[in-house]
Structure 1
Amino acid sequence: MMTTLILIVATAAAWLLATIWRRARHVPKVNIEYFAFEGDNSAARYIAEAGSLLARGYEKYTKDGQPFAIRNASDPRRPVAILPLRYLEEVKNAPQSKLSFPLFMEKASVIKDICGPEMTEEAQTIARMDLNKALNKLIQPMQEMVAKAYDKEMPPCPDWTLINPRQLIAQSFARIATRVLVGPELCEGRWLTLSRDYINSVIKAPGVVRHKYPHWLRWVAKYIEPSVHAVLKYRREGAELLRPVLEARIAELDDTAPQTGGEKERHERQHEDAIQWLLEEFRARGKKLTPDALAQNIYVIMTAAIDSTSSTALWMLFDLLDHPDAMAEIREEILRVSGRAADFVWTRHALGELRVLDSFMRESLRVHSFTQITIERMAAEPFTFKDGLHIPKFSQLAFPRYPYGMDAGVNPDPKTFDYKRHLKKRTGADAAKFHFASVSEDTLAWGTGMHACPGRFLAQEALKLIFLRLVSRYDIKHDGEKRPGPDRMMGLFMGPDASANILVKEVASST
């Protein structure tokens, strides 16, 4: 009996090893030019210099309309295809069953392997449909959240005072995101710190898992890896905080059902936040929203909102300090639109009147890039473009975001920071284009098609609220002892120098 059991176990182990070996050896690759470093092609070099390799590939191939491939940090066995813009429409219009953004997210991240599903289809839907529509009602509470962040993080500064702006910016975005996502019930108290704890842990855990566990063994990390245990712990705590709010919202919808014949129409909502949007979307699909699913969806949206937008804001602040002429004009614009009223209540329409600030923000977004590639997709099945370019199943493709924005053929004199560059374009038939959150032909920053960044309008209004308060109420300048250092490079990701301090001083009169 024991001999038979040993034989069965050995056979199963041999089959498993053979399967893993076959999968590791037989990986079809994109049949295009592979562009690599000369000499040292180690993973460490890609972490430090992948951006320069992408830029050289753009000059050599993309500008001539040719694709190329580079090392894929998520799966070195399958290089990522970098495509020129002539493929953009086909990628944009390809169905998800062929070129998939969710599949890319699933395969590029280890989070699903170690923590379960990231963002459900319902969350993607409400991010596209509900968030932008709700902003008209959310600007005032967002303004209040910014004021609370400044009250807490900004010290009294009648004279020049040294501060690190990273905390002020991060707290401002955290409070805005908390109010928008979990509503007034939870926007104060433990959720604010809990969401930050979750974000820190979920940023750390994937790197730990990739380093310590081979691809085929990552599923065990959720059972034995402390960094993964931290993610799951914060997720459980978030679910428990959300539970009473979710139950109360469910009861409200149930109470209205007999009178309305169903749930309230969206324009009649009593609550505008992601808890309500997700609850209604789940119910519309005949599904039950659990506290755990609610917590995970909100956490994922919050992670995307706070981390990348905080980096973008820090870059914008440094650009503002480097261009005092822009700062002076933006301050005057803010004072003009607000009528110099100290208690002015901003609306979305009023924020839209800050056109110089908007153009400045878009220019800063052009010259800095949290990620240097965009519009990432994965082939859910073998895919062939009209010109014959073949993409094998599970191969990743993307477009070059940062090199495109710095291309003189796209943006003339690209190395010059022209804070009115995009304002000058907003004339005639293009008057409604080229604002910060626009998806237009001069930038790939926001992606394209149905997966264009759904949070870009929230980022636009949040950034304006943060900067209008800073510029109108404070004089600001670089720390004379230490200016910001070079950007941090991590593969095809970049980040500003978060250690840099600035000097601030309250202005004599303010709005």
Structure 2
Amino acid sequence: MESSTNDHSYGLSYTTLIATLAVCLAFSKMLGAWMTMYELSKIPTIGPAGFLSSWFAGVKFVKNARALIQEGYDKFHGRPFKIRMPDQWIVVATGTDLLNDIRKAGDDELSFDEATDDLIQARYTVGPELLKSRYHLNVVRGSLTRSIQSTFAEVRDEIQEAFQDEVPLSKEWTSVPAYDTIMRIVCRTTNRLFVGLPLCREPDWIDLNIQFTIDVFKSAAIINLFPEILKPIIGNLLAPIRRSRARAMKHLKPIIEDRLERIQQGEEVMQNDVLTWLLDPSVNPGGEFRSVKDLTMRILNLNMAAIHTTSMAFTNTIFYLCVQPSSVVAELRKEIEDVIDEYGWSKLAMGQMRKLDSFMKETVRMVGFGATNIDRKTLKPFTFSDGTTLPTGTRIVVPQWAWHHDERHFTKPDTFEPFRFSDMRSNNANGSNFESFKHQMATPDEDYIFFGTGRHACPGRFFAVNELKTLCAHVLLNYDICLEEKHKRDPGSVNADPNVGNGLPEPVWFASSMTPNPAARVLFRRRKD
């Protein structure tokens, strides 16, 4: 009886301890947020700014981020404003002048790396080794971009094989879950250039790389809820790095060791892929980062950056293609066929597909990846050109969704105009090459910020756009496509909805992030005309 009472008392004490700890943690996080809010007190606020009320505003942000940021954009355009997220305050910079302030700022003032590292809690989710040197980004910016033409045939081959495996050509409609199917196709295609055959087709490798990004962002979201003092404990408990790295090394270790051995013996490594470029002594600092563990994490990290962004852009492009008038699809197909007839399947041909480029750019303008972009963290007090000063440690973002739906930047911004940007290029046919280049999907400017801005614009954007064009061209030349829900309502329709945007699958929003609807299904069949 006494033992039972003691056990019961122990249970109550343990429960009380956990509850007390949880309350203390929540209070410390709220106190930290309140102190930040006090430092930013001169910056206008969207939502309540009280000690307790701001916490509830952070909860509201999870479901209403886009609307809240739009409210601030409309109310304070041309000025920065602050808004409460569940784990912190952020400053939202609006207007071209503030964007240019961010673009011109030095890395010792506004840090892209620090902001990204905080967002994904990089030390725990991808490992501290990658923070010592980010030379793999130079490989993307340099070797990968320069090799788009020489590796084009391999990338296209993988697209053909991946589609044949995932969506075989058939006279009958084949229904597939669009986002999941496209992620597998994009993963294979990307890894044909990252690690080559046969690994790019290995099902476990594909699943690992798709899941790794999901695990990283889930873990980071939880870690960011805790105060700094507890992040090492929580990070080491939750982060997927150990199991993901071990799983990846089973695939990569023999490949890396074989290539290192050949290099040591003075043999030339013939594989023209990212893994080979990472081993190049001219880009790998002193050969310091040549361990299997280090190279494995860099490949996983590059996949995290490449697969999901390209998959989201391609999925949304497919959705928009499904609701176009047949005349638009016919016009795209004609351009692709004419260009291929003249230039063959090549990087040069992809560059000539102006209408397809416009269609893809208009899609990401309309949808994007979420409500914000261009994350930065202040490393010292930073003053905008309007006189607003931010203290050290402030996170800054730019409101991408509101920006791309603003009449200051685009006429009829809420209307999908498939050839908006190709028309701009045609209207400037006798103008400068710069003006024509400006309207390409891969080119960021003051109006279009999908790929970021300045020297920290996405280093892989040229490969990503080339890959997207090749994927889209393959689909348009080989398949008829239709949203399954639309086909159920009107079995005779395909690419023939006169109301552009009608019936588009609703994206899934979580805080400021957006993903294509994972439940949406698309029908594919062999092209009839």
Q: What residue in structure 2 maps to residue 194 of structure 1? A: 208
Structure-to-structure mapping, 1:234-245, within 5 angstroms: 234-245=244-255
Is residue 505 from structure 1 mapped to residue 525 from structure 2 by the alignment? yes
Is residue 50 from structure 1 mapped to residue 65 from structure 2 by the alignment? yes
Output the CA distance in 1 between the equivalents of 2:205 and 2:453: 33
Contact 1:382-1:393 at 8 Å conserved across structures: yes
How far 1:158 moved relative to its partner? 0.9
**Amino acid of the structure 1 residue aligned with 2:337:** L
Show CA shifts across 1:410-454 (max 9, x none). Answer: 111112211111012212212222111112232011111111011
Q: What residue in structure 1 maps to residue 84 of structure 2? A: 71
How far 1:210 moved relative to its partner? 4.8
Residues 115/199 of structure 1: CA separation in 2 closer, same or farther (3 Å cut): closer
Q: What residue in structure 1 maps to residue 270 of structure 2? A: 270
How far 1:187 moved relative to its partner? 2.0
Is residue 450 from structure 1 mapped to residue 470 from structure 2 by the alignment? no
Structure-to-structure mapping, 1:72-471, within 5 angstroms: 72-73=85-86, 75-76=87-88, 78-113=89-124, 116-117=127-128, 120-184=133-197, 186-189=199-202, 190-210=204-224, 215-221=228-234, 223-225=236-238, 228=239, 230-256=240-266, 270-280=270-280, 283-324=284-325, 325-339=327-341, 346-426=345-425, 427=428, 428-429=431-432, 430-471=435-476
**Amino acid of the structure 2 residue aligned with 1:97:** D
Output the CA distance in 1 between the equivalents of 2:34 and 2:523: 56
Q: SS of the residue aligned with 1:66?
A: coil
Is residue 61 from structure 1 mapped to residue 76 from structure 2 by the alignment? yes
Q: SS of the residue aligned with 2:480?
A: strand
Residues 256/425 of structure 1: CA separation in 2 closer, same or farther (3 Å cut): farther
Residues 285/451 of structure 1: CA separation in 2 closer, same or farther (3 Å cut): farther
Contact 1:85-1:399 at 8 Å conserved across structures: no
Residues 419/209 of structure 1: CA separation in 2 closer, same or farther (3 Å cut): same
Task: State the identity %.
Answer: 26
Output the CA distance in 2 between the equivalents of 1:241 and 1:503: 34
- TM-score under structure 1 length normalisation: 0.84
How far 1:338 moved relative to its partner? 2.3
Contact 2:365-2:448 at 8 Å conserved across structures: yes
Contact 2:159-2:189 at 8 Å conserved across structures: yes
**Amino acid of the structure 2 residue aligned with 1:490:** F
Output the CA distance in 2 between the equivalents of 1:147 and 1:425: 32
The answer for unaligned runs of 5 or more in structure 1 is 1-16, 258-263
Show CA shifts across 1:337-395 (max 9, x none). Answer: 2239xxx9611001112111111111111100212222211011222334432111110
Q: SS of the residue aligned with 1:432?
A: helix
Residues 398/201 of structure 1: CA separation in 2 closer, same or farther (3 Å cut): closer
Residues 163/107 of structure 1: CA separation in 2 closer, same or farther (3 Å cut): closer
Residues 45/162 of structure 1: CA separation in 2 closer, same or farther (3 Å cut): same
Q: SS of the residue aligned with 1:169?
A: helix
Q: Which stretch of the first structure deviates more once superposed, 110-119 or 156-165?
A: 110-119
Q: SS of the residue aligned with 2:150?
A: helix
Show CA shifts across 1:28-77 (max 9, x none). Answer: 63331111269894433211111011112111112xx222111244x42x
Output the CA distance in 2 between the equivalents of 1:102 and 1:285: 22
Output the CA distance in 2 between the equivalents of 1:335 and 1:283: 42
Residues 501/152 of structure 1: CA separation in 2 closer, same or farther (3 Å cut): same
Is residue 472 from structure 1 mapped to residue 492 from structure 2 by the alignment? no
Q: SS of the residue aligned with 1:431?
A: helix
Size of the aligned set, in residue pairs, is 471
Output the CA distance in 2 between the equivalents of 1:441 and 1:80: 19
Output the CA distance in 2 between the equivalents of 1:24 and 1:66: 22
The answer for unaligned runs of 5 or more in structure 2 is 1-24, 490-502
**Amino acid of the structure 2 residue aligned with 1:173:** V
Output the CA distance in 2 between the equivalents of 1:387 and 1:502: 48
How far 1:476 moved relative to its partner? 1.6
Output the CA distance in 1 between the equivalents of 2:79 and 2:222: 36
Residues 240/162 of structure 1: CA separation in 2 closer, same or farther (3 Å cut): closer
Output the CA distance in 2 between the equivalents of 1:223 and 1:451: 29
Q: Which stretch of the first structure deviates more once superposed, 280-289 or 304-313?
A: 280-289
Residues 69/200 of structure 1: CA separation in 2 closer, same or farther (3 Å cut): closer
**Amino acid of the structure 1 residue aligned with 2:418:** Y
Output the CA distance in 1 between the equivalents of 2:349 and 2:236: 51
Show CA shifts across 1:211-251 (max 9, x none). Answer: 6x5553232235544xx3x5421212213422232233333
- TM-score under structure 2 length normalisation: 0.82
Residues 115/338 of structure 1: CA separation in 2 closer, same or farther (3 Å cut): closer
Output the CA distance in 1 between the equivalents of 2:107 and 2:227: 29
Residues 223/46 of structure 1: CA separation in 2 closer, same or farther (3 Å cut): closer
Output the CA distance in 1 between the equivalents of 2:184 and 2:365: 25
